[in-house]
Amino acid sequence: MEQRLDWIQNKLDKLEDIAPEVEKNGDVSMTDADARKMKHLNGANEISHNVQIAVDGKTHMVVAVDVTSQAVDYEQFYPMSKQAKENLGVDELTVMGDRGYFSAEQLALAEKEGITPVVSKPERTGAPNADYSSSHFIYDEPNNVYICPQGRTLPRKQKRNKETPEIYYGSKHTCKDCPVRDQCTASKDCRTIVRFEHQGAADRAYLKVYENRTLYKKRKTLVEHIFGTVKASFGFRYLTVRRTGMVKTEMSLYFLVYNLKRAINMVGIRALAEA
């Protein structure tokens, strides 16, 4: 019994030691300090690393690999795009990403590097009717106003907080006699649209999705099948190492093998050996 109590006390001491880290960062894995609890496609939450890859649209080969402990992707668009551009040795590059990568700041950084983002925008409506979400409001840059789905003009409002770069658009007069007001907003004041810093880059990336719908639909077939191939053909289901650096090395080796097999299928072993 004394040995059992000592063991319990030792576990409690360890939990108390990491309590400040848990309070600061949330979930903490005692097996791998760099891993985090992430939700998988099967709905289960598992301790995982977030593996990122960029794939060339012509050859379907992996051109960039990274691993992060962050459960979300929105801070990964710029570093992954930049890595892919450098690895390909090109001056300009068009990069597609799903809505999880939508970050105005990341998209603006990518544009400065000669990268054209094509990224879908997540729907954060806030409106009773999704047909009146913020994505349906058109920004008129020359006049610095927003045009609502009813064709009405939302002028710029005085900034609520001078220390932040956000700009607000809306007018009581505009919304006063609107026939669809109850579908657009629950506010007693008026419908307000917020234009964030780097909003221009975000708008351009979202517009590119509509301009390249056929190409954008192919995005899933470019990336997802590679993960499926690595899992099904190579039998790779779980990581065998710990810590971010080691995990990145392991994943890079798997994708290197995938690229070699892909190259052999494309040009043959003899041509590859002579190259």
CB 169 within 8 A of CB 154: yes
Looking at residue 21, its pLDDT comes to 77
Quick check: 241 and 250 in contact, CB under 8 A?
Answer: yes
Q: Which residues does residue 195 pair with via DSSP β-bridges, in sequence order?
A: 167
- Give the Cα separation of 69 and 51 in Å (integer): 9
In this structure, are strands 93-97 and 115-119 parallel, antiparallel, or unpaired?
Answer: parallel
Q: Which of 96, 109, 68, 71 is nearest to 201 (CA)?
A: 109
- Measured CA angle at 125 (ends 118, 142), to 5 deg: 60
Per DSSP, 142 falls in state T
C-alpha span between 228 and 214 (Å, rounded): 23
Closest CA to 68 of 53, 55, 88, 83: 53
Q: What is the pTM of this model?
A: 0.79
Three-class secondary structure assignment of 176-208 = CCCCCHHHHCCCCCCCCEEECCCHHHHHHHHHH
Q: Which of 270, 133, 114, 120 is nearest to 191 (CA)?
A: 133
Q: Determine the Cα–Cα distance for residues 144 and 157; give it in Å rounded to an integer.
A: 11
| Token pair for 136 | 């349906």
Contacts of 110 (CB under 8 A, 6+ apart): 77, 78, 81, 82, 95, 117, 201
Helix, strand, coil shares of the chain as percentages rounded to 5? 45, 15, 35
Placement of tokens 């009405």 in the chain: 152
What pLDDT shows up at residue 160?
A: 59
Give the angle 78-133-175 at the CA atoms, nearest 5°: 130
Please tell me the predicted confidence (pLDDT) of residue 204. 92
User: In this predicted structure, what is the pLDDT of residue 159?
Assistant: 64
Largest CA distance in the chain: 78
Taking Cα atoms as reference points, which of 192, 132, 198 lies closest to residue 159?
192
- Pinpoint the residues of the chain covered by CATH 3.30.420: 45-122+203-274
Q: What is the pLDDT along the chain (275 residues), one digit of tens a residue?
A: 999 999 999 989 888 888 887 787 777 777 888 888 887 777 778 888 899 999 999 999 999 999 987 878 889 999 999 999 999 999 999 999 999 899 999 999 999 999 999 998 887 767 888 889 888 899 998 999 999 999 999 999 876 566 677 889 999 999 989 999 999 998 888 999 989 889 999 999 988 998 988 888 888 888 888 998 998 888 888 888 999 999 999 999 999 999 999 999 999 988 888 87
Which residue, among 209, 228, 210, 199, has the nearest Cα to 97 in the 3D structure? 209
Fold of 45-122+203-274: Nucleotidyltransferase; domain 5 (3.30.420)
